[in-house]
Chains A and B, each alone.
Chain A
Amino acid sequence: GAGVSQSPSNKVTEKGKDVELRCDPISGHTALYWYRQRLGQGLEFLIYFQGNSAPDKSGLPSDRFSAERTGESVSTLTIQRTQQEDSAVYLCASSSDWAGELFFGEGSRLTVL
């Protein structure tokens, strides 16, 4: 597709379950970012990939959060043992240059009951 694609668009899960969120960046974009946006809040940085390496994982809030990226393609954000405070929209963005112009997906809305 032409844009950044994220799936699922909506996910409702029970507390304690694991979830996987997927991001397909724009083809050829080497940089991939994950952000979290709680309701009515700003964007909270989680992790950044350059290719399949992650030079900046500083935003991952706990060891329950992990992310992988295959080459310069798909990335998966995994949240283990979900908690209610994990409820948020998880936004993925990709970029073709180093200076930060990001193209965002529509996000995956996670609700933990």
Chain B
Amino acid sequence: AQKVTQAQTEISVVEKEDVTLDCVYETRDTTYYLFWYKQPPSGELVFLIRRNSFDEQNEISGRYSWNFQKSTSSFNFTITASQVVDSAVYFCALYTGRRALTFGSGTRLQVQP
């Protein structure tokens, strides 16, 4: 089975708060890739990050950081000091090579000014 679960349907925060978006995945493969995509109100999905299954180092890019933990099959995404422009739907996705990229159901983030 290949599955991505984003349990948080919607999160609302006030600007400058930190927020973490959860992602849990399932796969029997030992080689796989995990992704986060952002879908702003305009609708076009934007690639944020790709991480392969052999690299558990956390990654930081500006206000964005990702925590990959194979022990819990999680790939969580944290936005530090959130801004209104961060308001979007965020999708976590899994690629194993057996099937096309499998997306979670998404988490809608609303950042209030």
Q: Hey, which bits of chain A sit against chain B, CB under 8 A?
A: 33, 35, 41-43, 45, 48, 56, 58-59, 89, 91, 93, 98-107
Contacts and interface: CB of A to CB of B under 8 A. Distances in A.
Contact of A107 (B43, B93, B100): B43
B44 A107 contact: yes
B13 interface: no
B45 A100 contact: no
Nearest to B31: A99
Given A106-B44, A107-B44, A43 B99 contact: no
Interface string B89-113: 0010101010111111110000000
Nearest to B50: A101
A48 B102 CA distance: 12
A42 B103 contact: yes
Contacts of A59: 100
Interface residues of B, number: 23
Chain A: interface secondary structure?
loop
Contacts, number: 58
Nearest to A93: B45
Nearest to B6: A42
Contacts of B73: none
Contacts of B99: 45, 48, 56, 58
B102 A45 contact: yes
B47 A102 contact: yes
A42 B44 contact: no
Contacts of A43: 45, 91, 103, 106
A21 B93 CA distance: 25
Contacts of A89: 43
A99 B103 contact: no
7 contacts: A33-B101, A35-B103, A45-B100, A59-B100, A101-B35, A101-B50, A106-B43
A100 B50 contact: yes
B100 A99 contact: no
Contacts of B44: 104-107
